[in-house]
Amino acid sequence: MVHVNELSFEYRSNRILSDLECSLQPGNIYGLLGLNGEGKSTFMKLFAGLLFPKSGTISINSKSSAPRSADYLGQLFYLPDNSCLPALPVWEFARLYGQFYPAFSESDFYHHVKAFDVPRDQNLRKLSLGQNRKVHLAFALACHTPVLIMDEPTNGLDAPSKAAFRKLMAGSIQDDRVYLISTHQIRDVDRILNHLLILKNGQLVLDANLEQLAREYRMVQHVEADDEVIFRQDELFGTSYLIKNQSTTDSNLDVEFVFNAFTHSPKTNHS
């Protein structure tokens, strides 16, 4: 459905992304991870048609992002890292802006808003930053676009609201939709991701399903003589290791630990 082909981007002759190649399949929630300055937000803006690639293409159902056609833009919803919504009551915002998305569900929107405990008659400009973010999230989920991309979706949310977001995401998953989430707050979303994309030095160093990773790697606190250690991390209560999984059973992997391994260890190479 979504294809990224030899995608590169430069800003003032500074190469940000280099020859990215990946395909995003429906029914998956992709986590786009990377250290600060690795181009995650740039990648998402290229998806949304807000930036133009230096070379290469992004396409959804064979429609390219670069022309910014209605056919392309109608297939995605882009949630930026900060919510800035008009000075309208919540209900009127949904009525006016939902018309731009053919599959928008007003009933779903109000269900999400209620789950976030936001009054539907409240003016958006009178809401806190966190409440404003909840409305934007509720709207994004209710649009039911084939592709939903979210940059730091949990920005400004308190702990109960983050839990509500995860529950709403879990209930919104559809087999014909692609979800792409970029975040530094990995713990906020790690339980809903099933595929990781990790950017490093402008390239994808990991593009793998979590089930695939669980078959290849194991996270342990003690190593044996024949274990192949890929990465080690000293923590408050000891040391954790990422090793090659030599058993026939899948392991339980910590997404944040995997991210640290693939951004800091030269032994990890899935690009």
Q: What is the CATH number of the domain that holds 35?
A: 3.40.50.300
User: Is the model's pLDDT at 125 over the cut of 70?
Assistant: yes
Establish if 185 belongs to a structural domain.
Answer: yes
For range 97-106, the mean pLDDT = 94
User: How confident is residue 13, by pLDDT bands cut at 50, 70 and 90?
Assistant: confident
The count of structural domains within the chain is 2
The model's pLDDT over 202-214, given as tens digits with 9 standing for 90+, comes to 999 999 999 999 9
Among 201, 218, 233, identify where a domain stops.
Answer: 201
Q: What is the mean pLDDT of residues 1-19?
A: 93
Residues 181 and 218 in one domain: no
Residues 43, 174: one domain?
Answer: yes
83 pLDDT tier (thresholds 50, 70, 90): confident
pLDDT-derived band at 267 (thresholds 50, 70, 90) equals: low
Amino acid (1-letter code) at residue 260: N
Which of 157, 176, 201 corresponds to the end of one domain? Answer: 201
In percent, the amount of the chain with pLDDT more than 90 equals 84
The answer on 186 and 90 residing in a single domain is yes
- More confident of the two residues 270 and 154: 154
Residues 137 and 82 reside in one and the same domain: yes
Above 70 in pLDDT, residue 18?
A: yes
Asked, for residue 246, whether it belongs to a domain, the answer is yes
176 shares its domain with 46: yes
Q: How far is CA 194 from CA 60, 132, 150, 207, in A?
A: 20, 28, 16, 11
> Does 260 lie in the same domain as 165?
no
The pLDDT tens digits for 147-203 are 999 999 999 999 999 999 999 999 999 999 999 999 999 999 999 999 999 999 999
Between CA 221 and CA 52 the distance in angstroms is 45
pLDDT at 252: 87
Confidence band (pLDDT; 50, 70, 90) for 1?
confident
129 in a structural domain: yes
Quote the pLDDT of residue 250: 82
253: containing domain: 209-264
> Are 116 and 226 part of one and the same domain?
no
Q: Rounded mean pLDDT of the chain?
A: 93
pLDDT of 143 above 60: yes
65 shares its domain with 186 = yes
What's the pLDDT at 225? 87
Q: Could you tell me if 132 and 96 lie in one domain?
A: yes
Q: Does pLDDT of 127 surpass 60? A: yes
In a domain, 271, yes or no: no
Confidence grade of residue 271 (pLDDT, cut at 50, 70, 90): very low
Q: Give dist(CA 185, CA 40) in Å, integer.
A: 13
Task: Report pLDDT for 97.
Answer: 95
Percentage above 70 pLDDT, the chain? 98
pLDDT value of residue 269? 59
